[in-house]
Structure 1
Amino acid sequence: MVSVQVDERQVMKLCRERISELVKEVEAEYVFWDSAELKKRTCMSWNTIQEAFFFDPRFPKRKVGSKWYFPARETRAFLEQWLMEQPK
């Protein structure tokens, strides 16, 4: 009979490292988001985005023609900071 022992902490550490690598790869795919991607990433409607943070002067955005674009890295950093500033 064969017996195998697994260090669960080591397995979890390896899983977290790999997940982190995959997330970085996915995030690297986008240079900027459009409004549809912003709604998807925040799980908010366009009206909620406008009411919550769209007009915050720190929020990075650029209008090209009639369409809004948001630099992915800067927008993500802003959103993380904005969320932490919200009252509990």
Structure 2
Amino acid sequence: MIEIQVNEAEIKAMYQAELQKRLDQLENEVVFWDTKELKRQTNMSWNTIQDYFFHDPTFPKFKLNQKWYFPAKECREFLVSWAENMSQTFARKEAM
């Protein structure tokens, strides 16, 4: 009789590493977001984006002719940092 032992933790780690590799490849395929993609990625309306972070001088953006473009990687990093700061700000206000 043949017996096979499988280390589930090792398989899970291998699966997650491969999944992350594929996600990184997909993320690198899109270099710039347009306004429509920014709204989709943030799940926010254009007015909300403008009210909360569009005018922040550290928000990565540039305008080419009449259209705004946003570097995908830099925007993702900015938005994560912005969301963390916003949650801390709201937590402080609630504590008062």
* TM interval, short-chain normalised: 0.7 to 0.9
1:65 equivalent in structure 2: 65
Summarize the alignment of residues 1-80 of structure 1 with structure 2, pairs less than 5 Å apart: 3-80=3-80
Which one has a bigger Cα radius of gyration?
2
- Alpha-carbon RMSD across the aligned residues, in angstroms, is 1.6
Runs of 4+ in 1 over 6 A off after TM superposition: none
**Whole-Å Cα distance in 2 between the matches of residues 33 and 75 of structure 1?**
9
Which sections of structure 2, spanning at least 5 residues, go unmatched? 92-96
Q: TM-score, normalised by structure 2?
A: 0.80
Partner SS for 1:86: helix
The amino acid that maps onto 2:86 is: Q
Q: CA deviation at 1:78?
A: 0.9
**Whole-Å Cα distance in 2 between the matches of residues 35 and 73 of structure 1?**
15
Percent of aligned pairs sharing the same letter: 45
Identify, as 1 or 2, the structure richer in helix.
2
Q: Deviations over 1:33-75 (max 9, x none)?
A: 1011111111212121111211111101111122110011211
Which sections of structure 1, spanning at least 5 residues, go unmatched? none
Q: State the number of aligned residues.
A: 88
